A and B are shown apart, each in its own frame.
Chain A
Amino acid sequence: MSPELTGFLFPNDIHIHWSLMIVMYPYITGLVAGAFLVSSLYHVFGREEFKPLGRFALATALCFLAVAGLPLLNHLGHPERGINVIITPNFTSAMAGFGILYASYFIVLLLEVWFVFRVDIIDTAARSRGLKRWFFAALALGVYDTSPEAQAIDRKITRVLAAIGIPMACLLHGYVGFLFGALKANPWWSTPLMPVIFLFSAMVSGIALLIVLYQIAMKLKGMPIERLAISAMARWLWLFMIMSLTMELLEIMMLAYERAEEWEVIGHLLTHQLSFSFISLQMVGGGLIPLILLGIVVLMDRYMDDRIRNTLTMVSSLLLLLQVLAMRWNVVIGGQMFSKSMTGFRETYVPGMFEKEGILAAAVIFFIPFVLLVIFEKVLPTFRHLES
């Protein structure tokens, strides 16, 4: 079935080569970067209000990072050769940095998780028998020192690792923006603002995800939702979403006001092909509404009942999660809805449900980190240190 086309397209330009998988990839790495930031606010900057979330945020970042490469692998025409990006990289390619960034960030994150949970691992090993004891002893890597001095060293190392992790998380995600921003062939992608937009929206999605997961986790565990934690996250979320929206708007306003050559294509793209996903989702439903809701939470924090605050932040967070997903879609798919002839458009693109890179595959990949998170929570409870 050939897509509906308007204007003149180069004959090879009617295909959408970068599918839903390439939408999911920056979405997932963004969640990693944002979740990691929240954990670092506690571990590096000592923001006590984030203490209830410090460990959980770290676990969330790890679980999502574990699947961040999956959409890419599923997208590749030859996934069995994917490892060549790491083994034989061509360093003039922005994409060649992926292996190094991904691998080194993964190592930093694993190390930080180990140091944060080391004492818990040893305690569990000491309290259990048989296979479980053996498993946790193996996790402890043969070090059983839980003296106050050793714990002080743990905290110091955690702090250093978390500090290293911040620029690395920014790089990992800024780099995703760079992949798009550095392609001069595509006017909708080619802007130095692209990595910045990706970074801010990453923070937005990560914080929003934590607000949602934290509230659900507390409900499931029958633990109280910490007022300070929610207020603080709402404040950060509001700040980052304002930054993110501002950048997203600035980019198109500059083009429109300049009456840049590209605007002829992009203006049409935003008001026609992407009118729902850009205007309705990214700007109004996922932008303006959470902006107002979070504004209420932040400005009227002192007078607000906990339940209202929780509900408002929850709704805003869900909307913002959708907003960031819409933003990824608009960038990745939007950039392929017009031809490089700059005169022709593809009218619609709906990914198939069951195709290799379709909706089901994306949903499965997105579901895995939640399963991982449940397993992580079973092995190393992230909230236990709060119970005592």
Chain B
Amino acid sequence: MARHDKDSARPLVPISRREFLNRSSSALAGSMVIALILPEGSSAGIAGADYDWDRHRWVYLIDTTKCIGCGSCVRACRAENSVPENMYRTWVERYEIPAEGEAFIDSPDGAEHGFEPVATGLSVRKGFFVPKLCNHCDATPCIQVCPVGASFATRDGVVLVDPEHCIGCGYCVQACPYGSRFINPTTHTADKCTLCYHRITTGRKTACVEICPVGARRLGDRKNPDDEVIEILATQRVEVLQPELLTRPQAFYLGLDMEVR
């Protein structure tokens, strides 16, 4: 600590005008080179430069039996995507279900700070955590109701909002049965989980998948023949949220319970 203070107390070395001009001109030249290269990549929007969306079909798998309710995913999501306070692109719910009577459900601050123990007074026989996020539905009402087409699905199966075109009417927020959308108080446009499109199109995992310490959240690709998640979807019993609404969610769950909302 003391050494660090000493370092920072080192006096600034003055530079000559010639040196300053030399340095700044090379910095300018460097930034111009970058500017010449960048438009290629940035013209594709938030996707990676070499990304081919016809070669992927993203799905999401949540194993509720593994989730420990630490809330790392919620924090990671907020940090990665600058999600505004009190709004959630992902969150975790806690279910405590007694043998008889009503279940106790909560999600304090979307589980951003994890869960404190609660005294529910119930003799709980069954308890678990359920991570939630946008289900990236194949037949989603949010895209259907958008009056200007600002909500759209990418060909690789991700539901996105174009903040440059969204008029902020809020119809999609009302239409989403899962509470996955909100109006961003800064941009005044609809906001939601992007499945970290900027990450998955550059060969990385979503922030929530990457941070999850127990592997409860996994990203899958239907067009990858060796994908483990797709193997699980094909061979195990998986469920989706509110299947009766026929929105065809692409976020699948292992170990759901009938109490799950």
Contacts and interface: CB of A to CB of B under 8 A. Distances in A.
B211 interface: no
Interface residues of A, number: 41
Given A11-B88, A185-B174, A95 B145 contact: yes
Nearest to B112: A11
Contacts, number: 124
A17 B148 contact: no
Given A11-B109, A81-B148, A90-B147, A17 B261 contact: no
Chain B's interface: helix, strand, loop or mixed, by majority? loop
B167 A84 contact: yes
Given A8-B106, A12-B88, A183-B141, A17 B165 contact: no
Contacts of A89: 147-148
B91 interface: yes
Interface string A76-105: 111101101100111011111010000000
Nearest to A261: B244
B168 interface: yes
Contact of A341 (B105, B110, B182, B183): B105
Nearest to B108: A11
A10 interface: yes
Contact of A84 (B148, B183, B187): B148
Contact of B171 (A13, A15, A93, A336): A93
Contact of B167 (A11, A14, A78): A78
Contacts of B173: 12, 17
B189 interface: yes
B149 A82 contact: no
B204 interface: no
- Taking residues whose C-beta sits less than 8 angstroms from the other chain, chain B's interface range is 35 or more
A271 interface: no
A179 B143 CA distance: 15
Nearest to A335: B174
Given A11-B88, A12-B87, A93-B147, A77 B189 contact: yes
Given A76-B167, A78-B189, A185-B175, 16 more contacts: A10-B178, A10-B261, A12-B181, A15-B183, A17-B170, A17-B173, A77-B183, A92-B143, A92-B144, A94-B145, A183-B141, A185-B245, A336-B174, A340-B179, A341-B105, A343-B105
The 10 closest A-B pairs by CB, nearest first: A77-B168, A77-B188, A10-B179, A95-B147, A90-B149, A185-B177, A8-B105, A11-B110, A341-B261, A17-B170
Interface of A: 2, 8, 10-15, 17-18, 72, 75-79, 81-82, 84-85, 88-90, 92-96, 98, 179, 183-186, 335-336, 339-343
5 contacts: A77-B167, A89-B147, A95-B171, A185-B141, A185-B177
